[in-house]
Amino acid sequence: MSRLLGKARMTFYHGKNSISIRTNDGKDTTLAALCKDVLPPCRLNPFLFNGDLQTMWTVLKSQAVPIYYKRRLFEQQDPCYPGTFALDFVVKPYEGSDEIGLPRTTYFSEEEFKGIASTDSRPMLVALHGLSGGSYELYLRHVLAPLVTEKGGWEACVVNARGCANSKITTPVLFNARATWDVRQAVKWLRETFPNRPLYGVGFSLGANILTNYLGEEGADCQLTAAVALSCPWSLDVSNLALQSTWLGREVYSRAMGTNLKRLYRIHKDSILKNSAIDPAEVERVRYLFEFDRAIQCPSWGYPTEQAYYRDASSTDSILAIRIPFLAISAEDDPIVANGAIPRGEFMQTPYGVLCTTSLGGHLSWFELGGGRWMARATEAFFQKIAREVDFDHYSRSHPLPEGEIRRFKREPLRPWFDPMRRKMHIEDAS
C-alpha cells in the first residue's frame, strides 16, 4: 500500500560509534542522529511506483532549471594523467552568445577569470556528474538550484569528465570509474583561490563513485568539509552482472549507456586512437556498457578484463578510509545499481559515514508529485545543516575505531591488516 501511495521506506546504516558533532548552540550530537533528523520523509509520485518508471521518467522529463555557467579549461599537472579538463562555475544570469553549444554556458573571458579569486566565506559545492553527462544534466541542476540562489547562499562548480559536456580530449587519457586526478587538482586549486570557503562535494552515479574513491584516497588530509553520494554504483562488478541478467537491464540500460559512450568515443576518436592498444574495429562493434569498457578501459589502463577493471575501480572499500562526514543515498529499486551492491556492512563499520536507503526512487530520480526531486531536498537539508549549524572547531578527523573491528595503515608484527585503498592498477613514475 505504501508503494502505491508513493511513500518510500527509509533505512539508515551507520557505525555504532558515529562521530560526535557539536552544533553552534553548544549541543552535541552524532553524524547519524543529524542525518536522521534532517532528511525529509521520502514521499514520491505514486504514478511512478517502481524504479524503472522513476528512472525512465528522468529521460522523458524536460524541465527548465535556469542555472548559468562559465567555463575554464585546466591543464592536468600530474604527468601520469596528461590532458585538459573543464570546470564549469555557477554564475549570475547573463546575456550573450553560446560558445560551447550547451544552454546557458559560455567561457570566462581572461579578464573575468583573473578576478575570480575571493576571500569570502561562502560555502562552495564541487559536483561530479554521472556517466557521459555534464554540468547541463537536469538531475545535477535540480540539486544545485536551491543552494545557489541568493537565499541558499552557496557557490558551486562542476568538474566535467574529460570529453563530456562538449569539452575536448587533448590526449588519449580518458576518464574512468576511479579517475580522481582531475577532481583532486580542482579541489587543490579551489582551496588556493578561495582560502576561506568551506568546500563540499556531491557526486551523482559514476561521479559518486569517483568522489567516494577520492575521499578515501585523501583520508584525513581531504580538503572537503563534507560530501554526499547519490545513486553510487559502489560494487561495479556486482551491478554489471545484475544488468546483464535481465532483458531490461541489458537491452535498455546497458545498451543506452554503451550507446552514449560510443557517441563520446566517435566525437573524440582522433585523440583516443593515439593509444595504439585500442582496436577501432572492436570499438565499432560495441553495443553495451561492458563491451565499451572491454574495448576502451581495459587497453587504456592495462586491465585484463572488464570485471577486473570493475573490481579495482569500485568504491565500496574506499568508504572505510573516509575521514569527513559522508552521507550516501541509494534506492533499493535502482535498476542500474543492484540492491546487492549497496555496501550496508561497510557503512556499519565506519564512524564517518551514514547510508540512507529508500525503498523507492530509481536511479538519480526520486521524483515527487509536481516534478521536484526528493534527493534535491535531502541534499540541500544536509548541506545547509552542516554548513550553517555545525561547529567544526570541535570536530576531529582522528576519531578512533572500535578495537579489533578494522585495522588500517599501521601494521603490527605478525598480525593481518586491511588497507581499503590498496589498488591493483599501478602507474609508473613518469619522471
pLDDT tens-digit readout, 247-299: 999 999 999 999 999 999 999 999 999 999 999 999 999 999 999 999 999 99
Label residue 398 by pLDDT band (50, 70, 90).
low
Given this model, what pLDDT does residue 59 score?
A: 77
Cell numbers 563534507: residue: 226
Catalytic residue flag (residue 205):
yes
Q: Assign a CATH topology to domain 2-234+318-394.
A: Rossmann fold (3.40.50)
Given this model, what pLDDT does residue 411 score?
A: 45
pLDDT single digits (tens) 30-64: 999 999 999 999 999 999 999 999 999 987 766 77
Catalytic residue flag (residue 419):
no
**CATH 3.40.50.1820 domain locations along the chain:** 2-234+318-394
Which listed residue (132, 167, 205, 300) is catalytic? Answer: 205
Residue 115 C-alpha cell reads as 578576478
**pTM, entire model:** 0.94
Q: Are 375 and 364 in contact (CB under 8 A)?
A: yes
Residue 142 C-alpha cell reads as 535540480
Which listed residue (14, 129, 142, 363) is catalytic? Answer: 363
Given this model, what pLDDT does residue 395 score?
A: 66
Catalytic residue flag (residue 293):
no
Which listed residue (88, 293, 333, 334) is catalytic? Answer: 334
Backbone angles phi, psi at 356, to 5 degrees: -115, 115
Q: Are 304 and 407 in contact (CB under 8 A)?
A: no
Q: Residue 353: which of 285, 409, 401 has the closest Cα?
A: 401
